[in-house]
Amino acid sequence: MNTVDASPSRNGRGSDSWHRPWAHFTVDRRSPGYCRVMFDHPPINTITATTVTELAELVGLIEEDPDLNVVVFDSANPAFYLAHYDTEGDPGRTAALPAGPTGMHAWLDLLVRLSRAPVVSIASIRGRARGAGSEFVLACDLRFASREKAVLGQFEVGTGVVPGGGPTARLPRLVGRGRALEILLVADDLDGARAEQYGYVNRAIADDELDEEVEAMAARLARFDHDAIARTKAHVDRVTLPADSEFPPALADFFQMLGQPRQQQQSARLLELGLNTDSDLERSLGRRVVESTPES
């Protein structure tokens, strides 16, 4: 893919900054006002330090482009949207990622900046979006899920850690306290219909209609006035988004708990069962994550 409108944008950076070889996604600039990003990191679209670095660069381009109105994020893998985070056996690599412009860790930084960008971000969710994958879609402005094929969840508590990428701040504002605690503490999967019922996503759409509906919405937004979109979104952001100070404490807890012996044993058990591969464990992670916990 990686097709981009060749005409330069008004910011003077032209198309070259967009049209580069991305490792974990492709970029399709369908018009000056509309960009589509497709996650493509086999086998299951895990998020790694490389993904974070690339997404941080992409968010910078999104922020700076005065022509762009809407960016859609979807997946090349119909079974996995963004599976979850993968430390690749070296948690220190993620912990050492440099802070972004907000002063926060790179992962929190890019999520916060995406939420506040003067552009409409849309997550078109087909397949599994758990853990950091869920954190990413929660940072998007609009979320549309395949009724039959979307799976969302925050499974971290089931593995002995705190969800660190912002769901403790975002979910209560979207779904209310009780449902947020259910999602975070029970650590099980929600299908598209339940995610819609809870307010986790804007709407669940029949799988064979998802692409068409999202495409029509994005094409419509691409034609509107950029400044009108940016100003309206900024007013809504001021009264709905969490303050930046709400995010770092949970990530600090995540990194601290990641190094505990009990959690490391659980992670090793999950790897033995098939974590980070296209396995039954990954396809049924919400149900099976309990298998990593010590027997009581």
> 65-84: per-residue pLDDT in tens?
999 999 999 999 999 999 99
Query: Is the N-terminal amide bond of 163 cis, ω within 30° of 0?
Result: no
* The dihedral formed by the CA atoms of 182, 84, 256 and 50, expressed in degrees to the nearest 10: -150
Residue 139 has pLDDT above 80, yes or no: yes
Quote the mean pLDDT of the chain: 94
High-pLDDT (> 70) share of the chain, %: 94
The DSSP annotation for 73-89 comes to EEES-TTEEE--B--TT
The reported pLDDT for the residue numbered 113 is: 98
Q: Judge contact between 211 and 124, C-beta under 8 A.
A: yes
The reported pLDDT for the residue numbered 19 is: 83
The reported pLDDT for the residue numbered 17 is: 79
Nearest by Cα to 249 from 168, 133, 139: 168
Q: What is the chain's alpha carbon radius of gyration, rounded to the nearest angstrom?
A: 18
Written as six digits, the tokens of 122 are 């849309």
Distance CA 163, CA 254 (A): 6
Pairing verdict, β 120-130 and 142-153: parallel
Q: Is the pTM of this model over 0.85?
A: yes
| 2: confidence class by pLDDT, cuts 50, 70, 90 | very low
Q: Judge contact between 235 and 83, C-beta under 8 A.
A: no
Express each pLDDT in 150-197 by its tens digit: 999 999 999 999 999 999 999 999 999 999 999 999 999 999 999 999
The reported pLDDT for the residue numbered 180 is: 98
The reported pLDDT for the residue numbered 18 is: 86
Q: Judge contact between 17 and 55, C-beta under 8 A.
A: no
Express each pLDDT in 223-270 by its tens digit: 999 999 999 999 999 999 999 999 999 999 999 999 899 999 999 999
- In this prediction, residues 115-138 reach a mean pLDDT of 98
High-pLDDT (> 90) share of the chain, %: 89
